[in-house]
């Protein structure tokens, strides 16, 4: 048979084999994508392997359980809350902090974290407490300390307001509404929380 006039087959190039940190990053990204789209209950190790374009064995070698994989994926991806600029008043500083916390909650990693919080049973959520506290709650509380300290220096905030109960209010409220009410935080909601809850709580006595 004369095959001289047949079109030549395109050369096949093997996809590069990823190893080490590159492969691990691909797996963590795939886990985050699954959490954001199908949630905790829909996430499978097989689905993550498919999304990362690798074998299931490569996932299990690094993470023996779904909980371990998701904890690392969240820890690696949660955006930093960052510092809060001095905007000249405690009200504006608080609103800036709340907006940053909200933006983190509604980022792709934030959606993934909320899927875990909403769908896990209590025993499973225990596995993620450290990730939630270290990645979301503690940074928000630290920024809140900074805001309140500046307010005390300006005379807008009474000195005894710098205590753990006050520092817990904003993260507790935002986590509660996200988990129990499954509702988002609009700018208006944030303003109402600051104006009707935080400012009266911080205001100097007699002001």
pLDDT tens by residue, the chain, 207 residues: 454 444 444 444 334 566 788 999 999 999 999 998 898 999 999 999 999 999 999 999 999 999 999 999 988 888 777 778 899 999 999 999 999 888 877 788 887 887 887 788 877 777 788 887 888 788 888 999 999 999 999 999 999 999 999 999 988 888 787 766 656 788 999 999 999 999 999 999 766
Q: What is the pLDDT of residue 77?
A: 87
Q: What is the pLDDT of residue 16?
A: 52
Please tell me the distance from the alpha carbon of residue 77 to that of residue 110, in angstroms, as a whole number: 9
Q: What is the pLDDT of residue 17?
A: 60
Please tell me the distance from the alpha carbon of residue 146 to that of residue 191, in angstroms, as a whole number: 19
- Two structure tokens written together for 143: 């920024």
The answer to whether the CB of 152 falls within 8 A of the CB of 204 is no
Please tell me the distance from the alpha carbon of residue 27 to that of residue 5, in angstroms, as a whole number: 45
Q: What is the pLDDT of residue 113?
A: 81
Range list of H helices, the chain: 20-37, 39-42, 45-51, 56-62, 66-77, 90-105, 108-119, 122-126, 129-132, 138-154, 164-176, 187-193, 199-202
Please tell me the distance from the alpha carbon of residue 130 to that of residue 123, in angstroms, as a whole number: 14
| DSSP-assigned letter for residue 177 | I
Domains plus CATH for the chain?
20-72 (1.10.10.60), 90-202 (1.10.357)
């Amino acid at each position: 048979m004369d095959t001289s006039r047949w079109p030549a087959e395109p050369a096949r190039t093997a996809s590069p084999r990823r190893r080490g940190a590159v492969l691990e990053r691909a797996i963590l990204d795939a886990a985050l994508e699954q959490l954001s789209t199908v949630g905790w209950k829909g996430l499978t190790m097989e689905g993550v392997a498919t999304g990362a374009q690798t074998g299931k064995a490569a996932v299990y070698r690094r993470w023996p359980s779904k909980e371990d994989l998701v904890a690392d994926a969240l820890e690696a991806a949660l955006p930093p809350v960052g510092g809060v600029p001095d905007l000249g008043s405690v009200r504006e500083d608080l609103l800036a902090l709340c907006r940053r916390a909200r933006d983190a909650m509604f980022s792709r990693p934030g959606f993934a974290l909320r899927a875990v919080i909403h769908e896990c049973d209590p025993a499973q959520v225990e596995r993620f407490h450290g990730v939630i506290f270290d990645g979301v709650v503690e940074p928000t509380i630290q920024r809140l300390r900074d805001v309140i300290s500046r307010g005390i220096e300006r005379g807008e905030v009474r000195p005894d307001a710098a205590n753990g109960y006050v520092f817990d209010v904003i993260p507790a409220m935002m986590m509660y509404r996200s988990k129990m009410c499954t509702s988002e935080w609009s700018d208006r909601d944030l303003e109402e929380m600051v104006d009707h809850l935080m400012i009266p709580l911080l205001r100097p006595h007699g002001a």
